[in-house]
A and B are shown apart, each in its own frame.
Chain A
Amino acid sequence: MGKRSQAEATEEFRDFARQRTAALYRSALLLCGDPHGAEDLVQETLAKVYLAWGRRIDNPAAYAQTTLVRVFISSRRPRSSSERPFDALPEAAHHDADASLRIDLIRALGELGAVDRAVLVLRFLEDQSVEHVAGTLGLSPGAVRVRTHRALARLREVLGTDFTFEEALS
Chain B
Amino acid sequence: MTGEDLSDVMQRATRDVPVPTEQLVDRALVRAVALRRRRRLHAGLAAAALVVGFGGGAALAPSVLNLGDGSRIDPAGQGEGGGKGERPAQAEEGGPLVLPGSERAVVSVDQLRERLAQAMPAGVGIGQVAAADLTEDEPGQTIGREVSAVVDGQAVTFTVFPADGVRPGGAEPRAQSRIDCFASGLQGAGPGECTATDGGGWLYVDDASGLIIHRTFDGWRIEMASDDGRLRLPDGPSGPQTDEQGAPVAPEHEAPSSAESELNEVEELVLSDLWFQD
Residue numbers of A with Cβ under 8 A of B are: 10, 13-14, 17-18, 21-22, 25-26, 29-30, 36, 39-40, 42-51, 74-75, 77-80, 82-89, 94, 96-98, 101-102, 105-106, 120-121, 123-125, 127, 148, 152, 155-156, 159, 165-166, 168-169
Give the docked Cα–Cα distance between A119 and B199 (Å): 52
The residues of B that contact A106 with a CB separation of less than 8 Å are 13
Please tell me if B109 contacts chain A, counting CB pairs below 8 Å.
yes
Q: A77 to B19, Cβ gap below 8 A?
A: no
B65, chain A: closest CB distance, angstroms: 18
The residues of B that contact A42 with a CB separation of less than 8 Å are 24, 28
Q: A50 to B16, Cβ gap below 8 A?
A: no
Please tell me if B103 contacts chain A, counting CB pairs below 8 Å.
yes
Q: A25 to B106, Cβ gap below 8 A?
A: no
Given known A80-B135, A84-B104, contact A125–B11 (CB-CB < 8 A): yes
Give the docked Cα–Cα distance between A74 and B102 (Å): 25
Q: B27 to A152, Cβ gap below 8 A?
A: no
The residues of A that contact B97 with a CB separation of less than 8 Å are 79, 83
Q: What 0/1 pattern do residues 98 to 111 of B give for CB contact below 8 A with A?
A: 01001111111111
A24, chain B: closest CB distance, angstroms: 8
Q: A25 to B8, Cβ gap below 8 A?
A: no
Q: A165 to B17, Cβ gap below 8 A?
A: no
Can you show 22 pairs from A to B with CB atoms below 8 A apart? A17-B28, A21-B19, A22-B21, A25-B17, A26-B15, A30-B10, A30-B13, A39-B27, A42-B24, A43-B24, A46-B28, A48-B35, A51-B35, A79-B97, A79-B142, A82-B96, A85-B108, A87-B102, A87-B107, A98-B16, A120-B10, A124-B3
Given known A98-B16, A168-B9, contact A47–B28 (CB-CB < 8 A): yes
Pick the 9 closest A-B CB pairs, nearest first: A46-B28, A86-B104, A47-B31, A26-B14, A102-B13, A80-B142, A86-B102, A124-B7, A47-B32
* Cβ-defined partner of B32 (8 Å) among A50, A74, A78, A123: A50
The residues of B that contact A74 with a CB separation of less than 8 Å are 135-136, 139
Residue of B5, B17, B97, B108 contacting most chain A CB atoms (<10 Å): B17
* Cβ-defined partner of B13 (8 Å) among A46, A50, A98: A98
Q: B7 to A127, Cβ gap below 8 A?
A: yes
Q: How many residues of B contact A (CB 8 A)?
A: 56
Q: A74-B139, A124-B6, A152-B2 are in contact. List 12 more A-B contacts (CB 8 A).
A: A17-B21, A21-B25, A39-B109, A40-B131, A43-B27, A44-B31, A48-B35, A79-B97, A89-B110, A96-B16, A159-B1, A169-B5
Q: A44 to B25, Cβ gap below 8 A?
A: no
Given known A85-B104, A101-B9, contact A75–B28 (CB-CB < 8 A): no
Beta-carbon nearest neighbor of B21 in chain A: A21
B82, chain A: closest CB distance, angstroms: 19
Give the docked Cα–Cα distance between A46 and B7 (Å): 25
Give the docked Cα–Cα distance between A74 and B20 (Å): 24
Beta-carbon nearest neighbor of B140 in chain A: A77
Q: What 0/1 pattern do residues 76 to 107 of B give for CB contact below 8 A with A?
A: 00000000000000010010110100111111
